[in-house]
Amino acid sequence: MSLTIPPTMRLYAMADRFVWGSFDDSPIVLKALEQSTGPLLELGCGTGRALEVPLKKGYNVIGIDHSKDMLAVAKERFKTYNNLRLLLGDVTQMQYPGFGTVAMLLNTYSVFTDAQVRLDILKRVAVSMNDSGNAVFILKNDNEAGRKSSTREEVSEIEAGKKLHYQGAAEYDPRTGIRTLRLKFRFGDENEHHIIPTILFSVEQFAREAALAGLVVSELYGDFDLSPYHREQSPWQIYLLTHQK
């Protein structure tokens, strides 16, 4: 039920760095870490796209993901760092206390289409945060641009003579409020196809869900450069959450 993205994702993991590698959310992650002083727990860390900057700054980091393929890429990438632990597991089942900052980035929260599962995740996040800790959540913004259908294609030569093809499409269904992502990967004879339903949240809905877990939105931004959130213009909703006092 909670495993809305299948854990077998070899080609997705291979493609991760060239398709999504340019997203730089380090400003908000570092801001949160400067306020909390760490350590950092990233839920659904994937191939570790967002971990490099905190690791280089010397923060202790734990990354959890349910995909062996994703974690294998992260392990190889950060093999020289001794301030990182990578754990295989389901974030809806795991709970670790003692973190300054807990992060769920790049719309990962939105793949949990079941409200009860989301509440459970937020409660686990709250337990993982120290008393003065915080959490970073990044969600796709629910505006006209966010609801538009989109497609994207990338081809990258990963091995000599072998190209990895990526085709991504997003389609929003106004009747259900579900934005479905269809990701297709091809590498030689291997094919992989993921259909991932996601939810678009209004700021009010997300704040309500956070409040149910005893969390409050302390800061809200609209893009990775920490520009202010604007309902119609911002591509993202970037939240800093703290415990309700």
Ligand X SMILES: C[S@@+](CC[C@H](N)C(=O)[O-])C[C@H]1O[C@@H](n2cnc3c(N)ncnc32)[C@H](O)[C@@H]1O
Give residues in contact with ligand X (CB under 6 A): 2-3, 5, 20, 44-46, 49-50, 64-67, 70, 90-92, 105-108, 111
Rounded to the nearest whole angstrom, what is the least distance from the CB of residue 54 to ligand X in the complex?
Answer: 13
Q: Which is nearer to ligand X, 32 or 64 (CB)?
A: 64
Identify which of residues 126 and 183 has a Cβ nearer to ligand X in the complex.
Answer: 183
Which of 22, 232 has the CB closer to ligand X?
22
Please, which residue, 65 or 126, has the CB nearer to ligand X? 65
Burial category of 80 from C-beta neighbours within 10 Å (exposed 0-12, middle 13-18, buried 19 and up): exposed
Map residue 197 onto helix, strand or coil.
strand
Tell me which amino acid residue 75 is: K
* The two three-digit tokens of residue 182, written as one number: 């269809």
Largest CA distance in the chain: 58
Strands 99-104 and 40-43: what pairing? parallel
Q: How far is the CB of 124 from ligand X (least distance, A)?
A: 11
Rounded to a whole number of angstroms, the minimum distance from the CB of residue 38 to ligand X is 17
CA-to-CA dists, residue 179 to 12, 143, 150, 196, 200, angstroms? 19, 12, 11, 8, 7
DSSP-derived letter for residue 205 is H
Q: How far is the CB of 144 from ligand X (least distance, A)?
A: 22
Q: How far is the CB of 245 from ligand X (least distance, A)?
A: 29
With contact defined as beta carbons under 8 Å apart, do 236 and 138 qualify? yes
Residue with tokens 């294998």: 72
By beta-carbon proximity to ligand X, the closer residue of 107 and 141 is 107
